[in-house]
Structure 1
Amino acid sequence: MYAGTKMIAVITRETRLAGLKQRWGTASQADFLMEAAVDHEVERRRKAYSAKGVDVSDDDFLLMEASAEELTDHSAYEEEDETYQQSLRKLMQELDVDVPVREVDRRYVPNFDFDRCLAVVVIGQDGLVANVAKYVGDLPVIGVNPEPRRYDGVLLPFHVSEARAAVLRTIKQKARIEKVTLAEVNTISGQRMLAFNDFFVGCRTHASARYTLESGGSREPQSSSGVLVSTGSGATGWMSSVFNMAAGISQYVTGKEVPRLSLTRDDRKLMWTVREPFMSRHSSADNVMGMINDQEELVIGSQMPTNGIIFSDGVEDDFIEFNSGNIATITVSDQRARLVVG
């Protein structure tokens, strides 16, 4: 439709309610199933109390019901959906700046032609910005918070009412840009992928991942739950949970917490760790954490006959097959994400 014409891409995502409708067909069917889930959970808890010989009073039953309803609160889904749709409609009105605007669902981002764009506007959660930024090349990304009272918006610096001004500054090349370090993986099969937050290298199932790991001139065979590689942006995400686990274990065993490593979003280095390494006659665990500085690399060779994968930023549907014989080289990417911050 816009062939040969520059445009503004607005990246959206489905709400939880939209996901339920897509799964179950209609809102009423989704309502029925969620209500059934509440009834099932209340009955499960009642039976658990009964099995322990504990009488369930009317007050206890009401508490169970209230707790179960919190897990499947359809009104919260509806409120979230309506607020998002209102914010999106207002955003589209704000972006009437004499440049064509194209709404793009996040499912189509990996295959969308961003070469036709002047700027990319993302309306959603922080994770949506992270998932989009690695696909847009050098284009500036403008994060818009659809509901500030719900989302912290670390990567969403603009309210809907501020989007127009941010886009105009961006088009005129007067916006303040923050350059964010990305991670990059290349395989000998010719595939390449970027990560804004992190890479996971391992097995798509709960089976152990088998591979060789080479870092800093040291190479060893390993068996684990996979390898996690994090940028500075991802250091407060999945990688932080690894430190939480290590701190909890250390506190329990020694009474002391382990120190935490940290990176900033523009640091030209990556942090990696092996998740739950297993030691056997065929695998060791001498090298389970480290840094990848600029111009350095982490090399992982797959020994998984099937189900080996590499994915980034928690998006498992967009993955690289990583089976036996494939070798992945992970580095700090020359490409950086460009986030509009003012």
Structure 2
Amino acid sequence: MSLAPRAVLVHRRTEYEELVDRHGSRGQAAFFLAGRGRELDEVERRHHLARAALAEVAAAVPLEWRRSRVERADLDRFLFGPEDVLVVVGQDGLVANAAKYLAGQPVVGIDIEPGRGLGVLVRHRPADAARVLRAVAAPGGERHLEERTMVEAVADDTQRLLALNEIYLGQHSHQTARYRLTAGGGHPEAQASSGVLVGTGTGATGWCRSTWLERRSTLDLPGPTAPAVAWFVREAWPSPVTGTEQVQGLLAGGEQLALTVESDQLVAFGDGVESDALRLTWGQTVRVGVAVERLRLFH
């Protein structure tokens, strides 16, 4: 007899909860916001919307299913199982936060504020939760899973980082980083820049796209399911000892971007989460490319 699926509801603390915790009371939080030209009422309204959406989704979980909840801050300590179905109740970014901790479990994205974000990864509404969860577990449900490419960074000391959107390599302060870059098995080039971005097709709607637009690049950005990632060197600096010949490209299949550190310390972090970063010291090499893991998003 197979184990019943477990719905794992992923959510995050609201701005209202964080404000009240930081300032001690609702009144103090209101006073703080008033000093900055904002009102607490709107923040509180959005808090109640988020909590109502979470309650509605929780009530929609089939009775025979097991269930659990995890807050974003606890994702790195949560033990996911093979029978889990992740139900992300929030914004697109919350799906990216959870993706790197998974091993093929299906993900359902529930948008709690339609129209406020792009809704690329959270495509369903709270009212759809019961129908969608039944469809995930139904025979043939696998056909509705979109497998989105992820990107990985692996250091020579076995540190590994996984991301859905992009990985940034550079100084934690975003100041000048010095390193030696080798793209796809080509010749190495010493560079000084404000960092390197390596992004997937999902990330091509965010930070990588901003860089792509800013430099008016003609590079074809990959689609979200394409087995390729795009990379960009940010503000490469030409000098007698540093070059700017290799500043963008695509990595497909087993191709990798290798970066050897020539600064005291560089970092690599994914999806904008700087608190979860690889620390790379002088002489270390990190290789970045398409990950084996994929986000399996129900659509």
Q: Aligned pair 1:295/2:254, yes or no?
A: yes
Higher helix share: 1
Pick the aligned partner of 2:91 from 110, 114, 125: 125
Would you say the 8 A contact 1:9–1:117 is kept in 2?
no
Q: Cα RMSD over matched residues?
A: 1.8
> Where in structure 2 are there 5+ consecutive unaligned residues?
none
1:254-293, Cα deviation, whole Å (9 max, x unpaired): xxxx535322111111100100111223321111111111
For 1:224 and 1:329, how far apart are their aligned partners in 2? 18
Which position in structure 1 is the counterpart of 2:159?
A: 191
Structure 1: gaps spanning 5 or more residues: 39-71, 248-257
Contact 1:185 1:192 survives alignment (8 Å)? yes
Task: Provide the rounded CA distance (Å) in 1 between the counterparts of 2:229 and 2:12.
Answer: 29
Q: CA offsets, 1:167-200, max 9 Å, x none?
A: 2222235321101111111111111111111000
What is the CA–CA distance in structure 2 between the aligned matches of 1:280 and 1:191, rounded to whole Å?
A: 32
Please state if 1:321 is matched with 2:279.
Answer: yes
Specify the code of the residue in structure 1 equivalent to 2:109.
Answer: G
Alpha-carbon distance in structure 1 between the residues aligned to 2:101 and 2:181:
28
What amino acid sits opposite 1:334 in the alignment?
A: V
* 2:126 corresponds to 1:160: yes
SS of 1:148's equivalent? coil
SS of 1:309 mapped into structure 2: strand
Find the aligned partners of 2:139 and 2:78 in 1 and give their Cα distance. 23
Question: What whole-Å deviation, never above 9, does each CA across 1:216-263 have from its counterpart, x for those lacking one?
Answer: 31201111110000101111110111123223xxxxxxxxxx535322
| Residues in 2 aligned to 1:206 and 1:232: alpha-carbon distance in whole angstroms | 24
Whole-Å Cα distance in 2 between the matches of residues 27 and 75 of structure 1? 10
SS of the residue corresponding to residue 94 of structure 2 reads: helix
- Evaluate the alpha carbon distance shift between residue 321 and residue 297 of structure 1 in structure 2; reply closer, same or farther with a 3 A threshold: same
Asked if the contact 1:222–1:277 (Cα under 8 Å) also holds between the matched residues in 2, the reply is yes
Query: Any idea what SS the aligned residue of 2:178 has?
Result: strand
- Give how far 1:155 is off: 1.0
Q: Which structure dedicates a bigger proportion of its chain to strand?
A: 2
For 1:268, the equivalent position in structure 2 comes to 227
Pick from 196, 200, 215: which aligns with 1:231?
200
Distance 1:329 1:321 in 2: 14
Q: Shift in Å at residue 24 of structure 1? A: 2.1
Give the letter aligned to residue 120 of structure 2: V
Partner residue, 1:277: 236
Deviations 1:45-86, CA, capped at 9 Å, x for gaps: xxxxxxxxxxxxxxxxxxxxxxxxxxx242221111110011
Q: Percent identity?
A: 30
Pairs aligned (count): 294
Tell me which amino acid in the other structure corresponds to 1:30.
Answer: A
Q: 1:334 and 2:285 equivalent?
A: no
d(CA) in 1 for partners of 2:24, 2:53: 25
**Structure-2-length-normalised TM-score:** 0.93
Alignment match, 2:245: 286
| Match status 1:94 vs 2:60 | yes
